[in-house]
C-alpha cells in the first residue's frame, strides 16, 4: 500500500469529489466543547485571574498564583537559544518586515472629488490594541509569534499583548524561543495561560491581563472556538484557523522527490491535516507515491502517522485531464497553502486562474517550509475553504478605515432631492428635515 490515495477526477462521483474537498469544522463546533468553552469564558469574565489560574491547573497541570501569570522581565531577558536559531529568527523577522512594509506602502489614505463640490475618501490607521496567541504543547512555535507580532508592529498598533501556554511538564516555564522573539521585538506584555482562558482574558481584561480589541492566532479547536465565542462580547477575530492543509498542482515536468518532500511539509502537522496533489500526469503521481513511501519511512512515528492520514483518507492524489480542471478543483478547495509546479510556459496562466488560496508559491524552489518560516509572506492563513472570503494575517489585519467626506452647498443641493425621497420612503422625518430646514 502506498501513502498517496490516488483517484481519477473524471471517474469520481459527486460523493467522492465532495469528500476530498471537505475539511469540516465539526470538532470546533462540537456541542459539548462549545458548552465547556462557554462555561470557561463566563468563569473568566466573573472571576478574572483566579479563573485563569484554575484553568491552568485543570488543563495544563500548572499551579501558579495570579502574580506569576505575567512573564517577568528577568525571564524575558534571560531566555537563551542557540546562535543558529537566533540568526534564523532575525532572518525571518527581516523578511516579514520587508513584506509588510511594502504592503503598508500600498495601503494609503485617499480622497477624490466624485462630483463638483463633493470630496470623499478614507483615513487609514492602526487599531488600538491586539492580542496574539501562540500555541504550545505539540511543539515549539516561535515562528507563530513573529508571524503575528511583526505585522501588528508594522501596522503601528500601540498596545500588543501575547498569551502562550507554558511548556508541558515544566511547572509553568514558557518556551525560551518564544520569549526570545518577544525580547527581539520589544514585546513585554507576555502571559503564561491556558489557551481558551487566555483568549477570554484578553477579551475581557483581568486584574493583570489587559483587554484588547482584536485577537488573532492559530490553535486547537478549543482555542478557535474561544475566539468565535468572544466575538459575542465585542472582540474581533480574523478567521477560523482549523487544521492545516495544502494543495500542489503539478504536471509531468515536476521533480517527484521535491514534490513528495513538499507534500509532507503540511502533512506532518497532525492526523487531521489534509494534503492534496492535483496532477495531469499519472506517471508523476506514481513516482511521487514511491518517493512518499521512502520519505515517510524516515520520519518519527508520530509524524509518519500524520502524513499517512493527510495523504490518504484526508486527501490524496487527483489525476486530471488538463491544468484547467486542476485550477477549477483548487479554487473549489480554496487551500490554505498552494504550490504550483508546472512547466514555465504554463505558470502564468495557472496563477491567473487561481482565485481562492491563502498563498500561492510558484515553482519547486519555493517550498511550503520556506514560506512558513522565512520568506515573509503571511503564514497564518485561512483554512477550511475560508480562503474564498478572507486573507492571511498581515499589517492590514491590524488596520482600520475611516470614511471621510466633505460637501459644499452646491453638492448638497444637488443631492437633497435624493436624500429626502429616501428618508420619506423609509419613514425617517428627522433625516429629511435635516435637509429641508437648510432651505
CB 206 within 8 A of CB 49: yes
Same domain assignment for residues 96 and 218: yes
Same domain assignment for residues 193 and 302: no
What is the domain-level CATH number for residue 310?
3.40.50.1980
133 within a domain of the structure (yes/no): yes
Backbone angles phi, psi at 432, to 5 degrees: -65, -40
Instruction: State residue 377's pLDDT score.
Output: 95
CB 127 within 8 A of CB 400: yes
Cα separation, 434 vs 203, in Å, equals 39
Instruction: State residue 171's pLDDT score.
Output: 86
Domain boundary among 233, 260, 282: 233
Same domain assignment for residues 202 and 256: no
93 within a domain of the structure (yes/no): yes
**Domain region containing 319:** 6-23+243-376
Same domain assignment for residues 227 and 283: no
1 within a domain of the structure (yes/no): no
Question: What residue has cell string 494575517?
Answer: 393
Alpha carbon of 81 to those of 85, 89, 170, 261: distances in Å? Answer: 7, 10, 17, 28
Q: Is 269 annotated as catalytic?
A: no
Instruction: State residue 242's pLDDT score.
Output: 77
CB 70 within 8 A of CB 191: yes
Q: Could you tell me the three cell numbers for 423?
A: 428618508
Q: Is 348 annotated as catalytic?
A: no
Same domain assignment for residues 317 and 172: no
Q: Please pick, among 95, 266, 337, 359, the residue that the annotation labels catalytic.
A: 337
14 within a domain of the structure (yes/no): yes
Same domain assignment for residues 256 and 361: yes
Alpha carbon of 5 to those of 76, 152, 188: distances in Å? Answer: 46, 40, 47
Same domain assignment for residues 298 and 424: no
Q: What is the pLDDT of residues 390-421, one digit of tens each?
A: 999 999 999 999 999 999 999 999 999 999 99
Nearest of 203, 219, 207 to residue 70 by alpha carbon = 207
Residue 56: how many CB atoms within 10 A of its CB?
A: 23
115 within a domain of the structure (yes/no): no
Strand, coil or helix: what is 25? coil
Q: Please pick, among 95, 336, 356, 365, the residue that the annotation labels catalytic.
A: 336
389 within a domain of the structure (yes/no): no
Domain boundary among 233, 265, 296: 233
Instruction: State residue 138's pLDDT score.
Output: 67
Domain boundary among 352, 376, 400: 376
Same domain assignment for residues 296 and 219: no
Same domain assignment for residues 151 and 207: yes
Cα separation, 200 vs 229, in Å, equals 9
386 within a domain of the structure (yes/no): no
76 within a domain of the structure (yes/no): yes
- 10-residue mean pLDDT profile of the chain (439 residues): values are 93 96 79 94 97 95 95 96 97 97 94 96 97 86 96 98 92 94 98 96 97 93 92 85 92 98 96 96 98 97 97 97 98 97 98 97 97 95 92 95 96 96 97 94
Same domain assignment for residues 217 and 280: no
Q: How many domains does the chain have?
A: 3
Same domain assignment for residues 58 and 182: yes
The dihedral of CA 87, 89, 93, 99: what is its sign?
Answer: positive
Same domain assignment for residues 217 and 259: no
Instruction: State residue 354's pLDDT score.
Output: 98
Amino acid at each position: 500500500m502506498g501513502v498517496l490515495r490516488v483517484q481519477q477526477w473524471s471517474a469520481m462521483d459527486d460523493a467522492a469529489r465532495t469528500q476530498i474537498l471537505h475539511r469540516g469544522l465539526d470538532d470546533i463546533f462540537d456541542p459539548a466543547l462549545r458548552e465547556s468553552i462557554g462555561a470557561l469564558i463566563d468563569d473568566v469574565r466573573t472571576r478574572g485571574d483566579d479563573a485563569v489560574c484554575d484553568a491552568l491547573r485543570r488543563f495544563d497541570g500548572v499551579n501558579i498564583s495570579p502574580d506569576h501569570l505575567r512573564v517577568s522581565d528577568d525571564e524575558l531577558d534571560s531566555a537563551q537559544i542557540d546562535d543558529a536559531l537566533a540568526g534564523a529568527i532575525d532572518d525571518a523577522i527581516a523578511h516579514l518586515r520587508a513584506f509588510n512594509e511594502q504592503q503598508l506602502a500600498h495601503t494609503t489614505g485617499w480622497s477624490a472629488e466624485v462630483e463638483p463640490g463633493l470630496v470623499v475618501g478614507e483615513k487609514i490607521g492602526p487599531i488600538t490594541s491586539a492580542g496574539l496567541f501562540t500555541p504550545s504543547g505539540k511543539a515549539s512555535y516561535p515562528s507563530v509569534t513573529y508571524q503575528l507580532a511583526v505585522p501588528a508592529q508594522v501596522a503601528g498598533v500601540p498596545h500588543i499583548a501575547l498569551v502562550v501556554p507554558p511548556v508541558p511538564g515544566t511547572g509553568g516555564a514558557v518556551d525560551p524561543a518564544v520569549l526570545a522573539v518577544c525580547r527581539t521585538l520589544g514585546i513585554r506584555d507576555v502571559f503564561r495561560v491556558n489557551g481558551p482562558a487566555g483568549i477570554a482574558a484578553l477579551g475581557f481584561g483581568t486584574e493583570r491581563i489587559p483587554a484588547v480589541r482584536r485577537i488573532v492566532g492559530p490553535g486547537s479547536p478549543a482555542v478557535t472556538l474561544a475566539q468565535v465565542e468572544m466575538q459575542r462580547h465585542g472582540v474581533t477575530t480574523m478567521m477560523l484557523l482549523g487544521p492545516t492543509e495544502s494543495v500542489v498542482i503539478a504536471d509531468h515536468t515536476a521533480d517527484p522527490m521535491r514534490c513528495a518532500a513538499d507534500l509532507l511539509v503540511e502533512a506532518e502537522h497532525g492526523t487531521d491535516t489534509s494534503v492534496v496533489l492535483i496532477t495531469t500526469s499519472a506517471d508523476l503521481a506514481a513516482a511521487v507515491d514511491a518517493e512518499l513511501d521512502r520519505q515517510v519511512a524516515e520520519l518519527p512515528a508520530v509524524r509518519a502517522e500524520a502524513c499517512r492520514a493527510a495523504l490518504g483518507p484526508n486527501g490524496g492524489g487527483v489525476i486530471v485531464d488538463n491544468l484547467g480542471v486542476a485550477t477549477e478543483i483548487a479554487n473549489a478547495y480554496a487551500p490554505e497553502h498552494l504550490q504550483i509546479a508546472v512547466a514555465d510556459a504554463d505558470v502564468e496562466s495557472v496563477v491567473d486562474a487561481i482565485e481562492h488560496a491563502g498563498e500561492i508559491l510558484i515553482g519547486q524552489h519555493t517550498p511550503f517550509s520556506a514560506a512558513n518560516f522565512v520568506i515573509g509572506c503571511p503564514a497564518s492563513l485561512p483554512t477550511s475553504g475560508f480562503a474564498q472570503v478572507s486573507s492571511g494575517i498581515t499589517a492590514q489585519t491590524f488596520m482600520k478605515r475611516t470614511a471621510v467626506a466633505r460637501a459644499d452647498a452646491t453638492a448638497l443641493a444637488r443631492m437633497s432631492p435624493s436624500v429626502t425621497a429616501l428618508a420619506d420612503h423609509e419613514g425617517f422625518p428627522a433625516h429629511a428635515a435635516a435637509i429641508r430646514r437648510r432651505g
